[in-house]
Structure 1
Amino acid sequence: MPISRIRVVNFRSIKAIDESISPICALIGPNNAGKSNILRSIQRVLEKDWLTRNSFTEEDVYGRDPDKDIEITLELDPPYEYQRFKEAEPVDISSIYFEFTRYKIGPNAGERRLEQKCFGPEGDAPVVLAKAPKKGERRKFETLYSTPKEVRENNPLIYIGSNRTLRSQLPGSRYSVLRQLFESIDQNLQDPENKIKVKRIGGEEIEVTRLERFHRLMQEAMKVLRTDQFNELERTIKVNALKLLGFDPVEDEEKLNLFFSPFDTFEFYKSLDLQIGEGEMSISATEVGDGLQNAIIMAMLQALESHKKKGAIFLIEEPEMFLHPQMQRSLYKTLRELGKTNQVIYTTHSPHFVAIPEYDEVILVRKDQEGTSLRRSDLDNNDVRREKLIKEFDPERNEMFFATRLLLVEGDTEKLAFPEYANRLGFDVDRAGATIVEVGGKRNLVEFAKIASSFKIPTGIVYDKDSSEFKDDRESENEYNAKLDSFKTADGVNEVWRFDKNFEDELRNAMGEETYQAYCQRFPNTRKPTRARLIALDKDSQIPEIFQEIVNWLVKKPVDE
């Protein structure tokens, strides 16, 4: 039951959003943009506990406006097949709707209430059997207005927040990774075919089910636990309960059979604590440092993936926390594997948790005077485009998704030099939230510009008019140059700069041939990108006017930031 679309109105920082959601979905944006609120809106309506009006408070309402109502709609694709009775045909539930509103009339007018609805593929409320059918009895049907609890119960929700406490991921926690794993383990233990060999007192070895063996051992354990004080406590509670109910504790003793019972198997699993051995001692893993706790939680995720669990919805905040780059890349692979049979929605500030070839899995989250807003690419990610992007894959290029402004350049020369010119002009490119991405050659500029523009990222392009990549086909290059120039917008949000020949010639023309050659001799046996950076570092070197124009645009604050 993956979520295919989410609509949220008036929840926390969200005034109104309406966006499709992919099986793997990365939410990217600055702090306080509303990424976590998107996850929490999903968590609120899919958590297993029965939803009531107390599931929301006035603090959750956008702007804390008492006249506003919260609305959350989740569309499901494929739909959830709901079957109220075994004998009934299943009906499709294609969307679920929740509204935190107020009574309009009646004695409770003005008080908050929670309204739940579900809808079929055509937008109508599903029609289901009113009661279990009996032979010879005419079937009666009724409209299903409220969302059945099975929608939540049969689709596990696993929430991993930014507060990486291991305690929240132990089996006793409702939305934990370990709970999902132990539910499977418990189902396996309950299987009558799951047997264990035990020896009788006479030494004879027999096979019994694990469940039977568990209950036998728990009975033995209860005999040990039943001290005189234990039995007296149990008896006292029973006697007092009988008195409070108006019975005689002696004559009516059999009217209330009250006793303590041991855990069932799953309750026993839920009570387990994870321990870490230190020499002859052990401590609870919940007592160790944050970094180790986070590593254990991420290891649980990987264990879940290896067990091939299906049908869960994972909500994860900042999976990169406490992980060095190599482990971030490893965990990203795990999330992608989980996403094949589950849905994974996560927030991130790390370029290691996104990939340009999968740009259609990215949603940019922004916040302005109208609250949280979303940007998703409408550019078709077909097989040809994906394969081309995979060939040009470079993790550094993933930074484009995190940029407030993006400058696309052909190669390393511009990428290394422009930040140094910015420093000399009194600007810090990183502090400005800007990113310079070299795309691996002129022929890739259009593709990267299309992706950036589809996300409405303010984008600048720097290119050489006459590139060696087109030396045998100038007509095609002119057509390509026209495509690049077309990205420029009248409002200056997107800009394009053309070097008449190349970066080096712009330097040569600005400082003069003699001075330029002197710099070249000053840095002999040096690659062009490195030499360009060293020249840019020299406070006495002239900064070409076009370079200043590029830098000024790059560090300019976008209108919507």
Structure 2
Amino acid sequence: MLTLKSLQIKGFRSLVDISLPFKNLNILIGKNNAGKSNVLLATKLLLEASARDVAENDFYRNELEQAESIELVGEFIIPLEYLDLCEAKHKPKIQNCIRDNVLTVRRVITKVDGKPKVSPLELRQPENGEYSTPTGIDAAFKQFLPEVIFIEAFKDPSEESKAKSTAVLGKILKQIVEQVSDKINDDVMVAISEAEKKFNRITREGKEFDERPDELKRVESRIKSHIQDIFSGSDVRLKFNLPNVSDLISTATVELKDRGPWTPPDGKGQGFQRVLYVALLQTLADELRDETAAVNRPFILLYEEPEAFLHPALQREVGNIIESISKTNQVVIASHSPLLVTPSRMDSTIILRQELPPNPHKTNLFIPDDNFVEPDDDKQLISLLKLNNSSEFLFADFVLVVEGVSDRYLLESCWHMTREKIGKKFESISIIESGSKDVVPLWIEYLKRMKFPTKGIVDLDFLWNGSGRVLKIEEVGKFCEKFWRLADEANLCEMSDDGKPSLKKGRKDDAFALVVGENCDKELGEWGKRITDELLKRDIWVLSQGEIENYFGLKLTSKGKYVAVGQRIRKGEIEIPNELQALLTWLFA
């Protein structure tokens, strides 16, 4: 399979100097304005570009500098059989540029008199590292490089649905119909050959035959007569160029009907048109799956916001279709939909983030660790990537993992009132609830390996019920042993079915008092402080007052009122405790 292995982009919009490793399937995710569309467009410009595709504001610039050129360098994995698609005279020259099945291609865009100038594609010469076009023209190797199918989010649908080979609809239909062209080619060529006899003189075995209708012969005769009146001895004949199968395929289009007359796609709404793209892509995936091993020019599908105008179930279906297409042709999508980012697709994900003010306007990329999940922990990853979590953290600057819904709601309210005060007006925090203190450190580890800046918050009971899975220090064992002994003496605990001690219902605040406060056990308090400090080094904050509700006077019988408290925090009616302000500042430390 011929694929784009990597793409280096310099000086294009927010892509100052960035190198992207590509796979068969590539999912670009990030907030608005993170640079996802820029990557798609840069990929297109590498393979297909003209001066009208580039504007002056496409050159990177900030308050201090502006790029004078755009450089796009792509490394393509080229199985040698694809070279058969180019002319024989060019094949040796191209083959000399390939090392270990990798061909490096470059396009440079400069400014001339203030206007963009697009240079032809160049190939890297392995001997000296220089770039040139050994075939004289870049069209010689464009014959086997991927054709671009670029479905943009906000492209004029009336343009994209036109029956022409350069429009998206035309390109997709061409790819679909080409899969069956061999099956219809012979019959169609016989029909065209018969039609040829009705339009042109036919020469067979050195003899000329004229089976044209008399009316056509008469028209030709009159033209000939008028010409010979002026240029005696001259001759003229009509010649009609009939299409071949590929010409007919390039005219393919579709019409749609929905409780009304048949119309072109641009006569329907955006939602209907997007569903049409889905249907066409599904058909293409089916045809590619059924095709033989014939070597054809590949394509690269660039799809911007494939989820647009589609309900969640159809978004999931689009994800499956795109993944299926990527088994035979490369796919790069830019998405805001967490429904497309499944556990099995995490290693196909590229996270894009734009640097925050006051840093220069530029895009950075982050690649999730391919091996960041142990097989036994797959269920935790699935839980992490469920919609209500991933829709938040996939597009955030920072992630905070908490235990429950009250933690999330109250901390979101505090952040709403605190962000500008602590100088973090532009940053976004995603607060996600894990449902259990046991899961908090695991999710922190996962998210960090996925390149998300992540920290976590746990209740005080994590010291005796969870810290031992994170820390391997002597104090944890001493702390837990003494805590449970004191809890037993105070009749705060009971034995669980698994033979381990657990707190009795409603006695958690009494247990907290053993560790913190004026009447706590001093030795237990010191050990707890040491454990808390060590957890902090691992980006886990332990709430010193026990639980988030305790900071706002919510007791066991009033914990359910956290929503009302959160609303009052947002109105400025409740002051945010110092520890929680310090916690929110710590997130960015």
Residue equivalent to 1:61: 59
Determine if the alignment matches structure 1 residue 418 to structure 2 residue 411.
Answer: yes
The one-letter amino acid paired with 1:117 is: E
Residue equivalent to 1:13: 14
Deviations 1:498-536 (A, max 9, x none): 124852xx534763xxx624525xxxxxxxxx5544554
Alignment of 1:159-308 (within 5 A): 159-164=150-155, 165=157, 167-169=159-161, 172-174=164-166, 176=168, 178-186=170-178, 188-191=180-183, 194=184, 209-216=187-194, 251-254=233-236, 257-277=237-257, 281-308=261-288
For the structure 1 residues 274 and 82, does the alpha-carbon distance in structure 2 shift closer, same or farther, using more than 3 Å as the test? closer
How far apart, CA to CA, are the structure 2 residues paired with 1:233 and 1:406? 78
Alignment of 1:92-171 (within 5 A): 92=98, 93-101=102-110, 112=117, 114-119=119-124, 124=129, 147=138, 149-151=140-142, 153-164=144-155, 165=157, 167-169=159-161
Among candidates 536, 544, 566, match of residue 485 of structure 1: 536
Task: Decide whether the 8 Å contact of 1:27 with 1:345 is kept in 2.
Answer: yes
Deviations 1:291-348 (A, max 9, x none): 2122212222222222226942111111121112222222122222222222221222
The one-letter amino acid paired with 1:159 is: F
Higher strand fraction (1 or 2): 1
Residue equivalent to 2:321: 334
How far apart, CA to CA, are the structure 2 residues paired with 1:85 and 1:301? 31
The one-letter amino acid paired with 1:99 is: V
For the structure 1 residues 151 and 499, does the alpha-carbon distance in structure 2 shift closer, same or farther, using more than 3 Å as the test? same
The number of residue pairs the alignment matches comes to 489
Residue equivalent to 2:364: 374
How far apart, CA to CA, are the structure 1 residues paired with 2:328 and 2:110? 35
Task: Decide whether the 8 Å contact of 2:163 with 2:251 is kept in 1.
Answer: yes
**TM-score w.r.t. structure 1 length?**
0.70
Among candidates 531, 546, 550, match of residue 579 of structure 2: 546
Deviations 1:427-467 (A, max 9, x none): 9x999643211234334333433454456644331123433
Q: How far apart are residue 543 of structure 1 and its match?
A: 5.6
Task: Decide whether the 8 Å contact of 1:15 with 1:370 is kept in 2.
Answer: no
Q: How far apart are residue 97 of structure 1 and its match?
A: 0.8
How far apart, CA to CA, are the structure 2 residues paired with 1:359 and 1:220? 60
Residue equivalent to 2:478: none
Q: How far apart are residue 371 of structure 1 and its match?
A: 3.5
Structure number with bigger Rg: 2
Deviations 1:243-286 (A, max 9, x none): 9xxx96553224xx553434333333333442223667322222
For the structure 1 residues 517 and 453, does the alpha-carbon distance in structure 2 shift closer, same or farther, using more than 3 Å as the test? closer
Alignment of 1:386-401 (within 5 A): 387=378, 389-392=380-383, 393-398=385-390, 399-401=392-394
The one-letter amino acid paired with 2:308 is: M
| 3-state SS of 1:516 partner | coil
How far apart, CA to CA, are the structure 1 residues paired with 2:67 and 2:131? 31
For the structure 1 residues 111 and 366, does the alpha-carbon distance in structure 2 shift closer, same or farther, using more than 3 Å as the test? closer
Q: How far apart are residue 41 of structure 1 and its match?
A: 1.4
Determine if the alignment matches structure 1 residue 507 to structure 2 residue 554.
Answer: no
Residue equivalent to 1:36: 37
For the structure 1 residues 320 and 184, does the alpha-carbon distance in structure 2 shift closer, same or farther, using more than 3 Å as the test? closer
Alignment of 1:467-486 (within 5 A): 467=462, 471=465, 475-479=468-472, 484-486=535-537
How far apart, CA to CA, are the structure 1 residues paired with 2:172 and 2:417? 55
| 3-state SS of 2:263 partner | strand
Residue equivalent to 1:462: 457
How far apart, CA to CA, are the structure 1 residues paired with 2:142 and 2:172? 16
Structure 1, 316-325 or 74-83: larger mean CA deviation: 74-83
How far apart, CA to CA, are the structure 1 residues paired with 2:575 and 2:68? 58
Task: Decide whether the 8 Å contact of 2:174 with 2:252 is kept in 1.
Answer: no
How far apart, CA to CA, are the structure 1 residues paired with 2:562 and 2:172? 55
Determine if the alignment matches structure 1 residue 363 to structure 2 residue 368.
Answer: no
Deviations 1:185-214 (A, max 9, x none): 3463444xx59xxxxxxxxxxxx8343135
Ranges in structure 1 where 5+ consecutive residues have no aligned partner: 128-141, 196-207, 489-495, 521-529
Residue equivalent to 1:409: 402
The one-letter amino acid paired with 1:516 is: K
How far apart, CA to CA, are the structure 1 residues paired with 2:51 and 2:253? 33
Residue equivalent to 1:139: none
| 3-state SS of 1:294 partner | helix
For the structure 1 residues 258 and 413, does the alpha-carbon distance in structure 2 shift closer, same or farther, using more than 3 Å as the test? same
For the structure 1 residues 101 and 115, does the alpha-carbon distance in structure 2 shift closer, same or farther, using more than 3 Å as the test? farther
| 3-state SS of 2:407 partner | helix
Q: How far apart are residue 154 of structure 1 and its match?
A: 4.9
| 3-state SS of 2:461 partner | coil
Deviations 1:115-135 (A, max 9, x none): 5321377875799xxxxxxxx
Task: Decide whether the 8 Å contact of 1:158 with 1:314 is kept in 2.
Answer: yes
Task: Decide whether the 8 Å contact of 1:305 with 1:337 is kept in 2.
Answer: yes
The one-letter amino acid paired with 1:507 is: E
How far apart, CA to CA, are the structure 2 residues paired with 1:283 and 1:510? 62
| 3-state SS of 1:467 partner | helix
The one-letter amino acid paired with 2:17 is: A
RMSD value over aligned CA atoms?
4.8
